[in-house]
Amino acid sequence: MTHAAAPTALEPMHPTAVLLDLDGTISDSGPVITASIAETLAHFGYPAQTQEELLRFVGPPIRDGFRAFVGVPEDRLTAVVEDYRARYNERMLQAPVFPGMAELVRELHGRGVPIALATSKRQSLAVPILEDAGLAQYFTVIRGASEDETRAVKADIVEDALAGLRDRGVDLTRAVMVGDRHHDVDGAGVHGLPTVLVAWGYARPGEDDGAHAVVHEAAELARLLS
């Protein structure tokens, strides 16, 4: 896929719908995810990773992360993932919302802009996280990975979120994705959506390639989505 560079001048996009990622966009979940991964790696005897290396896991489906970044073989993958999930589930509600993002969600809802969550986290976890943050009621649609992870890559999640919005009669002519990783850019791009990348998330250098714009604070994002 050929990507254009992110523009430096940010003009209001006037979106008809906004799709939001969760980890690294709304929720500062990196510390609780990486702590859980580090404990799992130690438990199974894998070499310790640096914090920067651990942050690579935040965003893509967790099974893919253990395969790609640790080399966990298929015959051990289920046990490793289950161990990680047990550790993460105990602390997942400890992750705070990034500054300004709760206010932005409420502002979009108040202006009548339909909002969808589109996260590669399992939907069964995403819902209570949003509920705990007091934000679930502002979302028209909440979509995440299926329990069996047959629907886990971001392009599939975006497709499911768009379908849910469409079923509710939402105008998708100017739908916008907001995320923090290249998975968001690429997954939304499959469906013709521009992506605004937030700089407060967990992207590595170069992941803004193909983004419509990059924003550095929630107030900047709010102006772009006005």
In this predicted structure, what is the pLDDT of residue 77? 95
Distances (CA, A) of 217 to 10, 86, 100: 13, 33, 8
Asked if pLDDT for residue 71 goes beyond 50, the answer is yes
For the chain, how far is it from start to end, CA to CA, in angstroms?
Answer: 29
Q: For 173-226, how does the pLDDT look when each residue is reduced to its tens digit (9 = 90+)?
A: 999 999 999 999 999 999 999 999 999 999 988 999 999 999 999 999 999 998
Asked if pLDDT for residue 110 goes beyond 80, the answer is yes
pLDDT band at 148 (very low <50, low <70, confident <90, very high): confident
CB 23 within 8 A of CB 33: yes
From the number of C-beta atoms within 10 Å of its C-beta (0-12, 13-18, 19+), residue 167 rates as exposed
CA 150 remoteness from chain centre: 17
In this predicted structure, what is the pLDDT of residue 138? 98
Q: For 114-138, how does the pLDDT look when each residue is reduced to its tens digit (9 = 90+)?
A: 999 999 999 999 999 999 999 999 9
In this predicted structure, what is the pLDDT of residue 1? 36
Q: For 4-47, how does the pLDDT look when each residue is reduced to its tens digit (9 = 90+)?
A: 444 434 789 999 999 999 999 999 999 999 999 999 999 999 99
Strand, coil or helix: what is 61?
coil
In this predicted structure, what is the pLDDT of residue 152? 84
Sheet holding 17-20, edge to edge: 141-145, 115-122, 17-20, 175-179, 195-198, 213-215
Q: What is the mean pLDDT of residues 102-116?
A: 98
In this predicted structure, what is the pLDDT of residue 173? 97
pTM over 0.85: yes
From the number of C-beta atoms within 10 Å of its C-beta (0-12, 13-18, 19+), residue 27 rates as buried
In this predicted structure, what is the pLDDT of residue 149? 77
99 vs 56, residue with greater confidence: 99
